[in-house]
Amino acid sequence: MAHAPAPAAGRLTLCPTPIGNLADCPPRVAAALLDADLVLCEDTRRTGKLLQHLAAEAGRDGRPPMKQLHDHNERGQVEGLVAQLTAGLRAALCSDAGTPLVSDPGLSLVRGCLEAGVTVESLPGPSAVLVALSASGMASDRWRFVGFAPRKADAAAQVLLDEETTVAFEAPGRVAATLAAIAAVDPEREVAVARELTKLHEEIVRGPAAVLAERYAGAPPKGEVTLVVAGAAREVDDAAAVEAVERLVAAGARTKDAAAVVADLTGARTNALYRAVQARR
């Protein structure tokens, strides 16, 4: 019987960093970054500025050493880093902005740490995905994040046009094309184009896909962009749905089974259809 490895002495802490405004760095993240033996980051210049800011706010001199970890070198560093962490290294992992591993490097390292029994701690903090979703005005009880939107129009429409609210990152120069792909299938689908979130020129533009596609066709947005696409509207005629269940029952189906079939086809709730049919008997 396989046993989980004993916890190693070191620790890897995943540190979400500000997506624009340095004041948004949570205190626990700031402390973890400043107290780390080593900070793993995509760009040492960008993270270095953040560390300098945090150190100045904390009244500290100097900053912890940094090491680049990005898409092109991560796999080659995992073995060595895990060995250091197992020996007691306390490392902090951050991306250029937002929460690590959300369309950013770090997955191979986290998996390597977990397999070796190294403690992996994830701190809460900034995320463009959640900021855009909460500000979009769209349903957030059921939603999904798909990373960067596909480049091909048909693939983009297939991924983004879902029954749930969908959040995706997009390059500024491709926003108009992606919106046009959505509009070609559903021109009235509500979309929010969020750019430069938490920064000086933050802007969130909401409207039908066709209208926004036209808006950005001649003037692409500037800065980092997050798209939020509303889920497909499903209008259900309850009376017709109940009648459909009754017709299936008359044809020999059990009420429960008939209600489940009609619910799948119309979006109505199975229990509601079942009770409605039972009440009419």
Bridging pattern class, strands 11-14 and 119-122: parallel
4 band by pLDDT with thresholds 50, 70 and 90: low
Give the pLDDT confidence of 126-165 residue by residue, as tens digits: 999 999 999 999 989 889 999 999 999 999 999 999 889 9
pLDDT at 2 > cutoff 60: no
Alpha-carbon gap, residue 189 to 229, rounded angstroms: 7
Residue 193 pairs in a beta bridge with: 205, 227
Measured CA distances, 53 to 60, 91, 244 (Å) = 10, 19, 65
Q: What is the domain partition of the chain in residue ranges?
A: 11-122, 128-229, 238-279
CATH number of 128-229: 3.30.950.10
Look at 152-156, 250-254, 261-265 and tell me which has the smallest mean pLDDT. 261-265
Apex CA 195: angle with CA 194 and CA 196, to 5°?
135
Give the pLDDT confidence of 196-228 residue by residue, as tens digits: 999 999 999 999 999 999 999 989 999 999 999
Alpha-carbon gap, residue 246 to 258, rounded angstroms: 8
pLDDT at 114 > cutoff 70: yes
Does residue 85 sit in helix, strand or coil?
Answer: helix
187 band by pLDDT with thresholds 50, 70 and 90: very high
Look up the pTM and report it.
Answer: 0.78
Structure-token match 């002495």, residue found: 9
pLDDT at 264: 80
pLDDT at 239: 84
pLDDT at 5 > cutoff 90: no
Same fold, 11-122 and 128-229: no
pLDDT at 278: 85
Alpha-carbon gap, residue 122 to 98, rounded angstroms: 13
Class at the top of the CATH hierarchy for domain 11-122 = alpha beta
Asked if 18 and 97 count as a contact pair (C-beta separation under 8 A), the reply is: yes
Mean pLDDT of the chain: 92
pLDDT at 170 > cutoff 90: yes
Asked if 131 and 19 count as a contact pair (C-beta separation under 8 A), the reply is: yes
